[in-house]
Structures are given as structure tokens and as C-alpha cells.
Amino acid sequence: MNYENLLIRDNEGIITVTINREGSLNALNSRTMLELRHFFGEDAPRRSGLRGIILTGAGEKAFVAGADIKEFLALDAAQGQAMAQRGHDIFFSIERFPKPVVAAINGFALGGGCELAMACHLRVATENARFGQPEVNLGLIPGYGGTQRLIQYIGKSKAVELLMTADMIGAEEAYRLGLVNYVVPPGEEAEKAAELIRKIASKGPVAIARIIETVNAYFQYDKDGFATEVRAFGDAAGTEDFREGATAFIEKRKPDFKGR
């Protein structure tokens, strides 16, 4: 696919995906969603040597300031449901991606932007970042998983308040509530995200993929998280990586994982 709205940069296996619609505060229009679907569903899984992905927005004002509302005006109920389902499918492909995906949040993360950040495995925010789900201001609700993931991260009581009031919160409050993992000065978010990926990449890649799978299973209505853990533990125990990791521990050396 020829990416029009995404900039893709590979730095030693750490890929930075930048949503490049700065003039629209990186709003998620249909083309951008299509490109995200292709990247996470077809492009990234085929890349050899991939260590992790950083997802960010162009410019200093916004990570993603929401969806492109102009595209919503012609929706009827059936079209709205189809749009939401596509969004869910794309964001699930991010949440379930077997390598770490870290959101580097540089400014506003509102509506679909907040939902996109929550679909990532980890979040690094700049001190000036702002988060919110303002859909009720438009007579809508979040449609890309926001009503579900916000509860998972910050709990029902505060999530319901933010969803119903459309209030925004700053980076420090987002950190206090558990929505973001780190808060850093502007300009340092990408490096912190890369630091996290490098640290995770030093661990067993099969084990990391199983961690992502089992944690996600806790929140999936059609999965038994405990049963998923039992199966995934067995899978990991049968890998070359486990033998190498255990042997390296006993021999007091750094393991050389092969992802097998």
C-alpha cells in the first residue's frame, strides 16, 4: 500500500509510525484508518527483525485530536454500526499485535485519539498532553472501544464521569489514574518509548507475545484468561527460547533469544 497519511520509519527494528495530518490535528479519517489496518494487519507482521512499534502524531499540538467529524454527517444507524465495527477490528489488531506497541502522546489525545492510545500496550505522554472522550458533546458515544478500555485502565467510577461530562484531563492526572505509564517533557516521548521497546526486546520474544495474548484474554468475553494462561505457559515451556533463558540464568550470562 502507498501510505498517504502515515510516515513509516525503521530504526534498527523499532518502527515509528507517525500519523501525518498535522493540519487536521492528525484526525482519524477513513483513509488513515485504512492505512492503520493495512500496516498492523499486513505490513508489520511481515517485517523481519521487528522489535516494536512507536505510534505518534505529527507536530507538537496533537497525537490524534479525534475522528474526522465531517465524515460522520452522512451516517445512518447501519452505516454508523459498520464504521464502529471497522474501528474495533483495527484497534484490536493493534491491541493483539505480538510485539510491543507504544503510544508516544504529544499533545491532544481526544475521542478516537484517546481510543487509539488505549489500544496500544503502553503509553508515554508529554507534560502538555490532554486526554478525553468528548463524543457526548456531539450527541454520540465513543465507537472505537473507548467505553470499554477506559474502564479497564481507570475504573468504572472515574471512567463514567469522563465519558458523561466530556471533561479533559492532563498528563499528570492521566498518570495518577493509570491511563499512561510515563510523563516526560515535550520532545522526549519518542526516546522514552524506544527505551521501553529496547528493554522489552531483550526478553524472550515468544514470551512477550504470550504475555500480550494472556493479558488481553482477561478482557475478552469469549476467552477464559486462566485457561489461556495455562495453554500459553505450556507453549512457552516448549520453546528454544525457554531452554536458552533458563540455561543463561543458571550460567549467569545474558540470554541469546532467537524467537523460537
Whether 135 is catalytic is yes
Any residues with CB less than 8 A from the CB of 188 and at least 6 apart, and which?
A: 126
The C-alpha cell 464502529 sits at 84
Whether 115 is catalytic is yes
Nearest to 124 by CA among 186, 66, 64: 186
H or E element that contains 4: none
Residue 118 grid coordinates = 488505549
Distance from C-alpha of 63 to C-alpha of 218, rounded to nearest angstrom:
28
Distance from C-alpha of 177 to C-alpha of 34, rounded to nearest angstrom:
32
Of residues 115, 173, 240, 251, which has the active-site annotation? 115
Distance from C-alpha of 74 to C-alpha of 30, rounded to nearest angstrom:
14
Of residues 135, 161, 213, 251, which has the active-site annotation? 135
Give the number of other Cβ atoms within 10 Å of residue 206's Cβ.
22
Q: Active-site residue numbers?
A: 115, 135
